[in-house]
Structure 1
């Protein structure tokens, strides 16, 4: 008695792909065919009923490989040969990623570095280590600035100390800064005039300040002046009186901090003990 065994025939060109999907293969070929004809994403969606993300996923690449289960195309696949060439040339990862971005890569930075790690594992070679580049700030002897024979410089911290803390600069530095950055003069004047308002306790100076800097070319100063005009009552009281709500704001901040630290940890009695002031004793 002969037993007939029915064997399902598999296409010859996909015989070496056990996870091959015929349905997906036909869909990918159809998508790439429509794209070659010049059809838009909207037209392909209307004809095939697939999503835009699916079209973008399968628009490039070998349909045979893309139709396999577990195979996912990466944005860096078109740059694989270039990355391997950079690896063989002794480039670092940072230099390679920068070159890939210049060639048109639009993905995230973390995915690019992860892709380079996978190439290292596949080829069993390592990219060159990133050389340490000493920054200009680290090379400075003085943090605020200096006038020396080798280098003459002024740092951002030095400019900040000059504008906000009234630290002195050399005349050469002042002339250079004001010539290169004219807005610094206006910023410095704004700081001094605002301090003068509170030192002399004069409300008319406040209105002159708001009127002057509401027309400034610096948007940050315009925003600051408009904010003062919106809260003019509170600002007037701050200028005219010595009273401050700092104690109240500090107490509120303290209560909120205690409340946040108590979430889900202790009961009501401990919360009350934290918030209440201790009773005065005979010794204190």
Structure 2
């Protein structure tokens, strides 16, 4: 790093650069006038599936700044928002054009996601076209599994049945 800085015209010593980097790493960048704001990675990731109003750790201004500083993030953010809009648009015929656009980005994780969609393309299109969800059934199955885990090996099926029925009334 010192060599690169020296090539750009820096005339100071390498120890000054080392000290500067150490201070910066210790979080004293604000005192040096360099670090202004810090946005956590998990906050940016949560913006991929939540609206900015529901994420408390970031403002619209901070998001815009992060998207300007990191153009790759802007690309991923835009493609994720487009997919979310597609899911709620009820226009399943736009899915293939979205997949083509996303495929051109050549992002390994996104390509894997697209491959998964292609494996079950009709089901994905149906989920876009129709507003049905199996969330209620999945939640009930999850509750039954939790009760089974708690009871593991201690009671009969009849007791499990009674516990499940009792949970549904609570």
User: Where on the TM-score scale, by shorter chain, does this alignment land: which range?
Assistant: 0.5 to 0.7
Cα deviation digits, residues 68-89 of structure 1 (max 9, x gap): xxxxxxxxxxxxxxxxxxxxxx
Match of 2:84 among 192, 195, 210: 195
| Bigger RCO (CA 8 Å, 6+ sep) | 2
State how 1:160-239 maps to structure 2 within 5 Å: 160=45, 163-164=48-49, 165-166=51-52, 167-170=59-62, 172-175=65-68, 177-178=69-70, 182-239=71-128
Unaligned runs of 5+ in 1: 1-133, 141-145
TM-score normalised by the chain length of structure 1: 0.41
Match of 1:248 among 114, 122, 137: 137
Compute the RMSD of aligned alpha carbons.
Answer: 3.1
Match of 1:260 among 118, 136, 149: 149
Larger radius of gyration: 1
CA spacing shift, 1:234–1:218, aligned 2, 3 Å: same
The alignment of Structure 1 onto Structure 2 pairs a total of residues equal to 134
Give the conservation status (yes or no) of the 8 Å contact 1:197–1:203. yes
CA spacing shift, 1:225–1:267, aligned 2, 3 Å: same
Secondary structure of 1:185's aligned partner: helix
The CA deviation at 1:151 is: 4.0
Cα deviation digits, residues 118-173 of structure 1 (max 9, x gap): xxxxxxxxxxxxxxxx975xx89xxxxx9xx6741232245345554335124554
Distance 1:201 1:184 in 2: 27
Distance 1:198 1:242 in 2: 10
Name whichever structure is richer in helix by fraction: 2
Distance 1:223 1:206 in 2: 16
The CA deviation at 1:266 is: 2.2
TM-score normalised by the chain length of structure 2: 0.64
